[in-house]
């Protein structure tokens, strides 16, 4: 039976086919990409860190915010203490674009995560060519060979890699991959359901020498504290920030600053 994730990936591949250029030409663009910023080090700094997301819409909630100027929003995130900016580049379900990433990357001095559904080698190279510093690999969307190859390619290009899981089986695969940044997504991308117990169940299972990230469904300081008790070093937050009248205040509230 087809899942929501299957439908998203299908659309991603169709859109990729429409914009794809020869791989040799894409690799040539790497020469003009901005220097990589170290996302691992940014997330490893003392204290709880936040990956603040530029996100217009989602398959589960529909339209969230217009975000006419993603660069301005990202600058506000950075000023409020975000460690990394996440930028959605998937267009059909999330309203994002490569242009958003380019605008944000040129406006901030902290690392930028390309938030998309990476299922081809081309997209890994494209991620670095666009200037991103952190690559997202979703275990549910990839087989072990793809995970291994895409992580190796990303690292070869200088990218840090965030490997995302949502259950024990996926976590075992991420750990076996020796992923250094592992995110637990409380939202099951196949059904879009939120499982609030996911952080408490899965974060403690991640080896303590990895950076643990709690993703999705976070809107209160209490939830952040619970994730931190479970072992989270960072949180990834989008909807709560883009819907807040004052995203800077929202970041300060979530981080207890």
What pLDDT, on the 0 to 100 scale, is given for residue 192? 87
Catalytic residue selected from 90, 170, 215, 228 = 215
Active site residue 188: no
What pLDDT, on the 0 to 100 scale, is given for residue 202? 98
Q: State the total domains in the chain.
A: 1
Active site residue 78: no
The CA distances from residue 82 to 30, 73, 97, 119, in Å, are: 27, 12, 21, 28
What pLDDT, on the 0 to 100 scale, is given for residue 21? 95
Catalytic residue selected from 78, 90, 126, 164 = 164
243 CB burial (10 A radius; 0-12, 13-18, 19+) = middle
Helical (H) or strand (E) element with 127: helix 121-129
Cα separation, 75 vs 81, in Å, equals: 10
Question: For all residues of the chain together, what is the average pLDDT?
Answer: 95
The two three-digit tokens of residue 100, written as one number: 């958003």
Domain coverage including residue 190 = 4-255
Active site residue 115: yes
Q: Work out the pLDDT band at 139, boundaries 50, 70, 90.
A: very high
What would the pLDDT profile of 21-32 be if each residue is shown by its tens digit?
999 999 999 999
Residue 64 pLDDT > 90, yes or no? no
CATH of the domain at 204: 3.20.20.70
Query: What percent of the chain shows pLDDT beyond 90?
Result: 86
Residue identified by tokens 């670095």 is 128
Active site residue 24: no
Residue identified by tokens 């591949």 is 13
């Amino acid at each position: 039976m087809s899942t929501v994730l299957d439908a998203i990936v299908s659309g991603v591949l169709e859109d990729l086919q429409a914009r794809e250029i020869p791989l040799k030409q894409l690799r040539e663009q790497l020469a003009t990409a901005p220097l990589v910023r170290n996302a691992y080090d940014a997330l490893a700094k003392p204290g709880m860190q936040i990956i603040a997301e530029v996100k217009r819409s989602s398959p589960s909630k529909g339209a969230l915010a217009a975000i006419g100027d993603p660069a301005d929003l990202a600058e506000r995130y950075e000023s409020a203490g975000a460690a990394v900016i996440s930028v959605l580049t998937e267009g059909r379900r999330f309203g994002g674009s490569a242009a958003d990433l380019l605008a944000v990357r040129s406006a901030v001095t902290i690392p930028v995560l390309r938030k998309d559904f990476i299922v081809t080698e081309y997209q890994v190279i494209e991620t670095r060519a666009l200037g991103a510093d952190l690559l997202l690999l979703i275990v549910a969307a990839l087989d072990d060979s793809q995970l291994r190859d895409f992580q190796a390619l990303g690292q070869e290009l200088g990218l840090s890699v965030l490997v995302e899981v949502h259950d024990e089986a996926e976590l075992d695969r991420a750990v076996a991959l020796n992923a250094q940044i592992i995110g637990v997504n409380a939202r099951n991308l196949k059904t879009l359901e939120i499982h609030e117990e996911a952080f408490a169940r899965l974060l403690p299972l991640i080896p303590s020498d990895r950076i643990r990230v709690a993703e999705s469904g976070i809107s209160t300081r209490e939830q952040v504290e619970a994730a931190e008790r479970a072992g989270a070093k960072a949180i990834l937050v989008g909807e709560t920030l883009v819907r807040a009248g004052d995203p800077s205040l929202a970041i300060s509230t979530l981080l207890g600053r």
